[in-house]
Structure 1
Amino acid sequence: MIHKAGRASRAAFRQADDEAFGAQQNGSMSKSMPTAVEAITGQNWQSIFVPKVNCCEVAHADRAAVLVDGANYFSHLEATLRRARHSIFIVGWDFDGRIRLRADQPADISPPLGALLRGLVEDRPELHVYILVWSVSVIHGPSATAPALLGSPWQDHPRIHMKLDTRHPLYAAHHQKIVCIDGRVAFSGGIDLTVRRWDRNSHRADDGERVDLDGTIYPPVHDIQMIVDAEAAAVLCRMAAERWSDATGEKPSSTAGKNDDIWPRQLPVQFRDVSVAIARTSPAYGGRAEISEIGTLTLDMIAAARTSIYIEAQYMTAPAVGDALAARLREPDGPEIMVVMTHTSKGLIERFAMASNRDRLIRRLAKADGHDRLRVVYPVVPSPQGQTQVLVHAKLIIIDDTLLRVGSANLNNRSIALDTECDLAIEARNEADRAAIAEIRNRLLAEHLDCAEADMAETIATEGGLIAAVDRLNVKMRGLRPFSAMRSPGPTRPIFGTSIFDPVRPFRLSLPFVSRGRSGAWRAPEKEL
């Protein structure tokens, strides 16, 4: 990739962000999206990753891989947990110790997660387990409330530490999903260690092993996690330890281990000797400055695309993202854009704020697509009723075959500067990296279209692009279906109340008669909630 990134990207994001936030307040929309990355040639090449702008740092990994769907992630996670000797950090939006990581195995082989962790600390005298969970998950998350509030028998051990993190503004969520082991290996992405996350790549509607704790089959779910080692893992482990200290005031025991290689033995390596950018979102709160690296990186990646933008997301509602994508669609020779998203939203607020604004943003993009380079679709699998939708919980962006990003951040407003998020990104530096990124994209599309990865790659090559290839292969009962908003008329501006239900930043409360300014008049300082 040949381009330049830096202050222009930060300014572009800030302008788009501020315009979007203002638009929510007054009902108008921002009219344009400045280019975030300027393409250049020759000797001026430099990485898209700019520490302190669109990532916190770029760290080396000897190995990295992308784990598609919960069954794949959980099985490799369990194998790695069993090799821990010094520390396990689990940072999540939600957590449930009753789940089994290998639901397709008997309980005596793969016990519930809580029992597994308890057994590990009893067998290993130096091992400490730290579990940090968003405080509001006890009422908002899918896990059981009582164990989180009252504790469970497996937690009754001096080296198992579990806390609810209350250090966040009103309505903000700690949304990171990170597991770090011995400071040597780390997982980060969209998958929490909680109920309704396990599923196979097949996503069969009647899979009898994809069940709730009461034995009820739950709907298919598609998700993604990344694993890294070496320095990149150490950075994530340090972040997790800092989150623990900030939330509890306690300093955890040493996180680094000196044991043997703990990379999962059965997991193929997709990237070797690669640089990994760690990007964050964190709200201004309690004296901490706002961090909006992920939002900036999103715009940088969209602007850097030459041929294709492939997105998998649970939510895509942020006006700043819509502006950036629409600008690329208006270009005569811009990239193709394919978005795979969740179709059906659950809960009144989710349907009101996320589904409505998603459809409005899709209509905006469809109007900008004068060159037929846009597809916004959702995955389905066959079922006795005809078809069942697959919940897309993944958060992924792939640009051409040169940029890959996996994380916890959705493409909605709150992931810009309200929630706490962590994304990992890789930029191809050689042909092996490019091939790995293309293979990940092709595998994902092949999964959705029920075809072989090789057929997906061959069809992209023969058809000359993603959209033509998908259109050609999308002929089975299992496949991708277009959102009706792609072709239906309707509003395109965010709904009234978006600034309440999907805010960009923490709410601020003006408190009257609190302090006196230099003029002697009472003033109302803003305080974060």
Structure 2
Amino acid sequence: MLLKEATTCWRAEPADRAAVFIDMEDYFAAVKSSMSKARRSIHLLGWAFDPNTAFEPQEGCAPPDDDRIAEFLKALVRERPDLDVKLLCWKAALPIAATQKLYPQRANGDFADSSVRFAVDDALPSGASHHQKVVVIDDVVAFCGGCDFGPDRWDTCDHVDDDPRRLPAPEAKTCFDARHEVMGVVDGAAAAAFGDLFRERWRRATGEVLAAPTAKLRSDPWPAGVAPQFQDVRVGLSRSGAAWRAWPQVRENETLYLASIAAATSCIYMENQYFTAPVIAEALAQRLAEPDGPEIILVSTAHSPSYFDQMTMDRTRSMFIKRLREADKHGRFQIYSPVTSLGHTIIVHAKLAIIDDVLLRIGSSNMNNRSLGFDSECDLSIEPKGATRTASRAAIRAIRTRLIAHWLGCEDQEFEATVKSAGGIGPAIEALRARGLCRLRPIPQLSLKPLAALIATFHIGDPAGPVDCWRPWSRRTRLKAEMAKSVAALKAAGLDHVKPRISPKTV
């Protein structure tokens, strides 16, 4: 078992049903359906929130008011006065809030004429952000992943060039970029655990203590039309967060990454916005050095959307790639960026990891330093168990196949057949690319000029915690110390397969 409470996860609870949404057309429809069925509560945690987000964007016209999330929620509480709707989002620093049209500061006005409660979360050390993305309905159904509510988040699995439904407004000339997100949904005790997470975060941010529900509901807010891909599985809830006042540091996300990377036997498949964390690079490099280790397939954006991230994260990613290519003595490592059919960049905002067919992980945590122990993060993991283990493992494989096939632009069956004939995931991708399915492109390792090398060496813009947030010269020492603590925690929990070698060349 990879999910161990108090080490690799905060809580591990059963779920009768679980499903995964690839890209946000289906997720927005599903979360709207679940919200419309709410009888007790709708609780939302987010990094960003745009009240004008449309669940179902329309071509050539503005969406009706009842399809915009703020108006939709206000209509619900008018119809059901006892419905408790609370939204908690990060109180973004002004430079970042400005890119969000100051919604964190203005959103209260959107709900001023209703009983919807909107609060901002600044219960964090200076420089950290609240980055969890969770929606909990009645403590019975919960969604978790990498997607906030914003008009630029919506896209289909086809990632169509110039899709008019991605226009910011009907009169706009330029669409939002194609974008890839992944979300998960669970029910049962696992969903109730996400409810507890919300209440703990709300108390920390506002000081208000919310009681957990005790009465059972007869209604079922599971989203209409969503067939569970998993039944009777174990669901882990893993967090990250810096020490702040009375709250201790939490690094469950990091320890789960280390444990699962060490446990992989055949394939590690990861999608992430950033690949910069030295502890992850070192853990992956150790597996690549083994003669019979797993394949490692990474998918990320060709380049970050913002200039700041291009200067910081993209440069540091080159050192991450260099470390893995140096370790890849047996030809098992690939890193790709996806493009549209016309060759335009697709923003990979998903935070996903699939370990063989034994762990599926979806959440908010990027693979950078701050997501592993500075920002507040929350990841959901599905681990097969019991009588449904065989079916659950098959479902994990099917989701991995669908993800890669949707990148390449082929049918799932074609990709599966190519895996069998080519002898692996990476060789199959390369075989299909050679046939002209080249929407996955290798990410090159950049040569770094002196300034870029300095940024990458000291991880400028990517602190490990409050201690080094404003002292980048101490960051490498801090990273080594955090790695040592995480490995010690894993050994103490009985995960003896983790190799406690803390000598990362990337630090």
Equivalence for 2:338:
379
Among 169, 176, 179, the alignment partner of 1:221 is 179
Q: Tell me which of 232, 240, 256 is aligned to 1:297.
A: 256
How far apart, CA to CA, are the structure 2 residues paired with 1:396 and 1:151?
A: 30
1:496 and 1:468 map into 2 onto residues whose CA distance is 31
Aligned to 2:154: 198
Do residues 72 (structure 1) and 26 (structure 2) align?
yes
**Which one of 411, 421, 430 corresponds to residue 367 of structure 2?**
411
CA distance in 1, matches of 2:392, 2:453: 39
| Aligned residue in 2 for 1:94 | 48
Asked if the contact 2:405/2:411 (under 8 Å) is kept, the reply is yes
Query: Residue 503 of structure 2 aligns with which residue?
Result: none
For residues 440 and 159 of structure 2, the distance between their equivalents in structure 1, rounded to whole angstroms, comes to 13
Task: Give the Cα separation in 2 of the matches to 1:401 and 1:493.
Answer: 37
Q: 2:74 aligns with which of 95, 118, 133?
A: 118
Name 1:473's counterpart in structure 2. Answer: 432
- Rate the CA distance shift 1:447–1:191 in 2: closer, same or farther, 3 A: same
Which residue matches 2:121? 165
Name the CA distance, whole Å, in 1 between partners of 2:443 and 2:397: 25
Q: State the partner residue of 2:36.
A: 82
Instruction: State how far apart, in whole Å, the 2-side matches of 1:400 and 1:494 are.
Output: 36
Letter in 2 for 1:495: I
| Aligned pair partner of 1:366 in 322, 325, 340 | 325
| More displaced stretch, 153-162 vs 198-207 | 153-162
What corresponds to 1:325 in structure 2? 284
* In structure 2, distance between residues paired with 1:158 and 1:252: 20
CA, structure 1 residues 210+268, in 2 after alignment: closer, same or farther (shift >3 Å)? Answer: same
- Contact conserved, 1:94 with 1:137, CA < 8 A, in 2? no
1:27 counterpart residue number = none
- Residues 509 and 354 of structure 1, relative CA distance in 2, 3 Å threshold: closer
The alignment partner of 2:463 has SS state of coil
Cα distance in 1 between the residues matched to 2:283 and 2:151:
35
Taking a change above 3 Å as real, the CA distance of residues 101 and 255 of structure 1, as seen in their structure-2 partners, is farther
Structure 2 CA distance for aligned equivalents of residues 183 and 400 of structure 1: 31
Structure 1 position 212 matched with structure 2 position 168 = yes
Is contact 1:340–1:377 with CA below 8 Å preserved after alignment? yes
**C-alpha contact 1:71 1:102 (8 A) present in aligned 2:** yes
Q: CA deviation at 1:427?
A: 1.9
Which structure 2 residue ranges, 5 or more long, are not aligned?
Answer: 471-507
Q: Distance in 1 between matches of 2:111 and 2:467?
A: 35
Any idea what SS the aligned residue of 2:67 has? coil
SS in 2 for 1:272: strand
Which residue does the alignment assign to 1:179? 135
How far apart are 1:147 and its partner, in Å? 4.4
Over 3 Å counting, the alpha-carbon distance change for 1:203 and 1:255 in structure 2 is farther
Matched residue, 1:518 = none
Distance across 2 between alignment mates of 1:143 and 1:60? 39
The corresponding residue for 2:237 is: 278
Could you list the per-position Cα deviations for residues 262-301 of structure 1 after superposition, in whole angstroms to 9, with x for gaps in the alignment? 1112111011011101110011001211010000000111
What's 2:12 paired with?
A: 58
Alpha-carbon distance between aligned partners in 2 of 1:277 and 1:431, rounded to the nearest angstrom: 19
The secondary structure found in structure 2 opposite 1:84 is coil
What is the SS of the residue equivalent to 2:12?
Answer: strand
Q: Distance in 2 between matches of 1:259 and 1:154?
A: 32
Matches of 2:263 and 2:372, distance apart in 1:
19
Give the C-alpha shift of residue 359 in structure 1.
Answer: 1.0
Distance 1:141 1:404 in 2: 33
Alpha-carbon deviation of 1:463?
Answer: 2.0
Q: For the residues of structure 2 that align with 1:350 and 1:490, how far apart are their CA atoms?
A: 16
Residue by residue over 1:327-381, the C-alpha shift from the partner in whole angstroms, topping out at 9 and shown as x without a partner, is: 1111111111100011111333311220001011101111111111111110011
Task: Give 1:104 deviation, angstroms.
Answer: 3.9
Question: Given the superposition, is the C-alpha separation of residues 85 and 497 from structure 1 closer, same or farther in structure 2, using an over 3 Å criterion?
Answer: same
Counterparts of 1:477 and 1:470, CA distance in 2: 9
Larger radius of gyration: 1
Shift of 1:221: 0.4
Q: CA deviation at 1:72?
A: 1.4
Equivalents in 2 of 1:207, 1:93: separation in Å?
26
Pairing 1:132–2:91 present: no
Q: CA deviation at 1:428?
A: 2.5
Q: Give me the whole-angstrom Cα distance separating, in 1, the residues matched to 2:383 and 2:427.
A: 26
The CA deviation at 1:139 is 3.8
- How far apart are the structure 1 equivalents of 2:23 and 2:147? 8
**Which residue matches 1:483?**
443
Cα contact 2:315–2:456 (8 A) shared by 1: no
* 2-structure distance, mates of 1:366, 1:403: 25
* One-letter identity of the residue aligned with 1:85: R
TM-score computed with the length of structure 2 as normaliser: 0.86
- Report the secondary structure of 2:166's partner residue: coil
Maintained 8 Å contact 1:357/1:494 = no
More deviation, 185-194/214-223: 214-223
- Aligned mates of 2:305, 2:412 — CA distance in 1: 32
Match of 2:104 in 1: 148
Deviation by residue 1:169-200 (Cα, 9 ceiling, x = unmatched): 11101110000111110000000012310000
Equivalent residue for 2:502?
none
Shift of residue 159, structure 1, vs aligned partner: 2.1
Query: 2: distance between equivalents of 1:283 and 1:438?
Result: 34
Could you tell me whether the CA contact under 8 Å between 2:65 and 2:71 is conserved in 1? no
Q: SS of 1:235's equivalent?
A: helix
After TM superposition, list the pairs within 5 Å mapping 1:502-517 onto structure 2: 502-507=462-467
What code does the residue aligned with 1:322 have? A
Question: In structure 1, what is the equivalent of residue 419 of structure 2?
Answer: 460
Equivalent-residue separation in structure 1 for 2:113 and 2:40 (angstroms):
15
Distance in 2 (CA, whole Å) between partners of 1:275 and 1:344 is 35
Residue 34 of structure 1 is matched in structure 2 by none
CA distance in 2, matches of 1:459, 1:138: 50
Residue 265 of structure 1 is matched in structure 2 by 224
Using a 3 Å threshold, how does the CA distance of structure 1 residues 468 and 508 change in structure 2: closer, same or farther?
closer
Q: 1:251 aligns with which of 209, 215, 225?
A: 209
For residues 151 and 51 of structure 1, the distance between their equivalents in structure 2, rounded to whole angstroms, comes to 36
CA pair 253-222 structure 1, distance change in 2 beyond 3 A: same
Residue 397 of structure 1 aligns with which residue? 353
- Partner Cα separation in structure 1 for residue 69 and residue 250 of structure 2: 33
Give the deviation of 1:143 after TM superposition: 6.2
Counterpart secondary structure, 2:362: strand
Identity %: 37
User: What is the CA distance between 1:246 and its match in structure 2?
Assistant: 1.1
> Equivalent residue for 1:438?
397
How far off its partner does 1:148 sit? Answer: 3.2
